[in-house]
Every structure is written in C-alpha cells, then in structure tokens.
Structure 1
Amino acid sequence: MTRTPHDNFAKDFLEELLSPLGKVEISREVTDEARQIDVLFSPSSTPTLPPESIGLLAKLVTQTSSIEIFRNQPNLFQVLMCANKLYSYFAELNRQAKRENVSLDVESLGRLLIISTTVSQDLLDTFGATINPAIDCSGVYSFPKGWFGSIIAINKLPVTKETLWLRILGKGQIQRRAVDELLALPNTSEHKENTLRLIANWRIITIKQTNLIEEDQEIVMNLSTAYVEWEQKTLEQGRQEGEKRLIIRQINKRFDVIPDALVEQIHQLSIEQLELLSEAFLDFSTITDLEQWLENRT
C-alpha cells in the first residue's frame, strides 16, 4: 500500500514517541479468521408474503441486515465481534465497488441486528444503546449512529401479536407463552405450519442429545405442546395421503384411468370426505357417478 507523506510522518512520529514506552510495530498486518454472519438478509422489492405477516421483525429489516442471534446475553467482546462481521461485509462491498468503479452509499449498505433473549441495562449503557425512536417499542434499542445497528431484548418486548415471531426465540415463560400463542393462531395463518415443523425438529434434535443440561430440558418442555400438535397433524396428513392414494387406485382399477381434473378434486377432499367417498364408491357404476358425487361435495 502506498504511503502518503502524512502517513509516513504520523507513523514515524508515533513510533518516536511510543518506543520508549513499549513495542511499536509499523504497518502491522492483521490476518482475521473467517467469520460467519448468522443471517444476512437482503429485502426483495417484490416479497411473496406481506411484510406485516412477521410483525415487528419486518420493521427491523427494511434494508440489508446482518442478524446475530444469542440464546444467552452476549458479552462485550461478542457484541464487538458482531459489529466486526458487519464492517468486514462493508469492506467486501467497498472492494467490489472499487473494482466496478462505482460509489457506495454507506447509509444503505446494511445494518447490524443483534437478537438476544436478555439484555442488561449495563450492556445497553456500555454501548450507548437507547430506545429506537423510529420503532418506539420497549425492547428495541439503537446503537449510536456510526454503529449502524440495533439490539433486541426479547425479555423486554411487549406481549403483542407483532412481537410473537421474535418471542418464540425467547427463554422460559416468555418462550412458552409465545408457543401457546402460535398454537392458538388459525391453521391458515402464514408461517404457522412451517414454524411448528421447525420447532418439532428443534425438539427432536435436542432430546436426542445425551446428558441434557438444564437449559436443554427447559427447551424440550417449552416446545412440547407445539411438538404434539405437529405430530398429530403429521399423522393426520399421512393418513389423508394414504386414503387419497387408495381411493384413486381403486377408481383407476374400476374405470381404467380417471381424468386429471377429477384426481385434483379428490386431492382437495378432507379426511372425512375421503371416508364418505370410499363408502359411496361401492355403489358407483360409471365415471359419471364419481363426477356427480364430487360436484355435490364442492
């Protein structure tokens, strides 16, 4: 790297002043280990679901976001490392911009979002984090402007529908209540089915571990009700798929091949309707009987 006259002077000057007090290394190369951002999110201009479906979280990620998640409160060094990963990402974008000879808008590069189950006032004070005025929600704190980020204290979030998807990442009673709220949502709610599947998988992986620590046991307990509902739903779906395959195979056997449109109608039937069709099918003489039966059920 080319050294400017000012650069030469400043480094030599500080070496002169500091050498009597200790070791001075000029232009010391620093090799950093590879670090992984937990979640790097870049918003789409055409989302496939309305952002409000994930409540508060959508308001926090309106631009590219480096998201770091903590099951326990991060310490000072961990927060610094989170920021370091974001700034390393900024440096990567800057190198790319130089190669392409384009300018960067620093404000739009991205933001750091730390999500933690708990955050002490001491940690907030250490980094000068205060309530985010743009969000105006307890538990959502902004770092000073140059930090380009926020920290979320899940334990301080209000219990509302908007915060549900963040509170699922909480601990203890906070997480248990969030899971109960998730189960109370209509089955047609966006994200409910997939979240139940992910929760069930989390519980399965946790319970397979040997020598579960107290925190692992708490997770298993918190997720149990969600796991039971997922298991029952999965069994019901398996039974329903089995019923569909059986009835379609029986119809094909009697009437050779049935039209795709009728197959699609059969796939739309509930488990109760499939059972009724299995009984009614015994009296069918032609494919027209099946068509009429399906028409009467839609």
Structure 2
Amino acid sequence: MTQFPHDQFAKQYLEELLSSIGEVKAPREVRGEVRQIDVWFSPQPQLQGNPEELGLLGRLATTSALFEPYRNPVTPDEIDSCLLKLLEVKGEIQREAKRNKTRISIDDYPKLWILTPTASQNILNGFRATLDEENWSSGIYFFGEYFRTAIVVIHQLPRTPETMWLRILGRGKVQSQAIDELEGLPKDNPQRDNALLLLSDLLSNIEVNPDVDPEDRELIMRLSPLFSQRLEEATQSGIQQGLQQGVQQGREEGIQQGLQQERRETIKNLLVFRFGELDSQLEVIIEPLLSLSLPELMPLLLQLSREELLDRFGG
C-alpha cells in the first residue's frame, strides 16, 4: 500500500502531463543533505506536445522548473525546504559554469513553483509573496525577482479551462469540479486518458487505506462510478475482440478458442486500463491470470500495485 497516495499521484500526474513538452525527472536528488526535488522539468521544443494544451500548467513550464506539489497547505518550514533545493540547484549550475568557463545569467536558473491547495495570508506576507495581476491570473504569488519562486494557491485559481490541469491537484470541491471538467473533455484527448488512469491508481491506493479520512471517502464516491463505467467498457471491449477472433477461426473450435481469447483480451484491456500500457513484464502475468475467474480477477487488478502483481504472478 502506498503510504502517501496523494503525493505519489501529484508527482506521477505532473510527470505524465509535462513529459509531452520536455524532460522530466521525478524525483531528482540534489547535493548537500540528501533532498529530492519532487518534479524537475526541462522544456524540449523538439517534442510533439503543445504547452498550450496544458493551459496554465504549460505556461509554468516554458522554462526549466522545479515543481513541489503539496496535498495539505504548505508551511513556512516546507517553503524553506523548497528554497534550499532551489539554492542547491543554482549552486550546481554555478559550479558547472565555472568548470566550463561559461557565463550564466539569471535566466539560466530554473524557476520554483510551489503548488498548494491553500495558503494563509500570514505566510504569503511573511515571504513577501505578491500577485502579478497584470501578467498572471489570481492565485499565483511571486517572491522577489532573484528568488525565481512563486506559490500557486490552487483554490484561488479562477475556474477556467486554462487552470483545470492544476485544479486537479486541489482538494474537496475544487478537485471534484476539475474532475468533472476532465471527464467532459473529448474522449480522443490523450491527456484526458492519461490523467484518468492516474486517478484510477489514486482511487486504488486510497481505497485500501484502513484510515480513510472523510475527504478521501468523498473522493472515492466521486471516482468509483467513473471507473466502474470505464472498467465495464474495457471488459466489454475485450469480450468483443475475443469473440470476433473466434468467429473468424471457425465454429466449434473457433468458439472455444474465441472464449479463451475473450478472456485474454479482457485481461489485456484491464491491465492497460490499470497501468496505461502493456509492457513485456505485464505480458508475462497474463497466462497465470487466465486461470482466475472474473470475480477473482477484478479485485486483484484494482487493488494490487504493479509490483505486487508481478511478485505474485510473474514467477
């Protein structure tokens, strides 16, 4: 069971969305006392992704950046920790420039984006973080120019399509509304499917937590019908693919083979639904899974992690 499911979701979610427009390292260790940057991003213009499709998140990713998402309201100590990571990265860049005898400017340093559902006015005042309403939407508070840092207060962002991808990382009603908007996107939107798959992982992780808090219980209620429908679609798609192949192969023998192929395609679709792709490691466990009935199979695929499935059926 994942100890911090929301933290894992936030990192995987940002990594998945940003990988279409740049290089992502999540996490990335920095020198000094061992610290890990949650998401390190470097834009790669040669990639096919369009930053504009990610709205405000894409705008935050126009330069190299450190993303530090928080499930709970960020504290002053946590902001200090983020700033230390940024300063250590700046030190690495300075040392490399010195070794290579190259000059650097302030634009060579990454920006730090601290993502938090809410932030008290005292904290914002304490760090002299202020709005830039002329150039940015509400909810984004910038430190002094040389800090290259801003706090993104997710629950203060305007409810517009541009902010949806960030509001997914909010809490309660804000997150639920963003999920509604995500679900309403065209079904051929690749980012929509990727985000829904990661929400599926989040649902599985919080469902097995014995100490589910009321807010997570509401999130489970919000996500369960959505994924029950998607699971049914994946299952039916597998059945149809299997039976079609059976009909093509002939009647009696073909029907038997078709039923077996039906189960195989169903398992494949469920694995893709659960983990986003079917790689060589997951293909190995298909045969052992064929011996299970559908009622036995469903809970396993929804509740066990990838590693647990491989350990149990990969031998």
Q: With structure 1 as the length reference, what TM-score do the two structures score?
A: 0.69
Could you say which residue in structure 1 is the equivalent of 2:120? 120
Given that 2:176 and 2:219 are in contact with CA atoms closer than 8 Å, whether structure 1 keeps it comes out as no
Asked if residue 220 in structure 1 is aligned to residue 220 in structure 2, the reply is yes
Give a deviation string over 1:17-42, Cα, whole Å, max 9, x none. xxxxxxxxxxxxxx942100010010
1:181 positional shift: 1.1
Matches within 5 A, 1:1-298: 32-133=32-133, 135-243=135-243, 245-247=245-247, 249-250=249-250
Extract unaligned runs of 5+ from structure 1: 1-30, 255-298
Corresponding residue SS for 2:210: coil
Corresponding residue SS for 1:77: helix
Q: Which has the higher contact order (CA 8 A, sep 6+)?
A: 2
* In 1: Cα distance, 2:244 partner to 2:194 partner: 23
Give a deviation string over 1:208-234, Cα, whole Å, max 9, x none. 122323343233234334323432332
Give a deviation string over 1:30-69, Cα, whole Å, max 9, x none. x942100010010111231211111111111210000000
Corresponding residue SS for 2:43: coil
How many positions carry a matched residue from both structures? 223
Corresponding residue SS for 1:125: helix
Give a deviation string over 1:190-245, Cα, whole Å, max 9, x none. 31111111101110011112232334323323433432343233224433443454
Counterpart residue identity of residue 47, structure 1: L
Percent identical: 33
Counterpart residue identity of residue 153, structure 2: A
* In 1: Cα distance, 2:204 partner to 2:143 partner: 37
Counterpart residue identity of residue 238, structure 2: G
* In 2: Cα distance, 1:218 partner to 1:113 partner: 28
Distance 1:160 1:34, change over 3 A: same
Moved over 6 A (4+): none
Of 203-212 and 232-241, the range deviating more from structure 2: 232-241
Distance 1:90 1:247, change over 3 A: farther
Counterpart residue identity of residue 80, structure 1: D
Counterpart residue identity of residue 161, structure 2: K
Bigger Cα Rg = 1
* In 1: Cα distance, 2:133 partner to 2:59 partner: 12
Distance 1:106 1:184, change over 3 A: same
Distance 1:100 1:71, change over 3 A: same
Extract unaligned runs of 5+ from structure 2: 1-30, 255-315
RMSD (Å) for aligned C-alpha atoms: 2.3
1:151 positional shift: 1.1
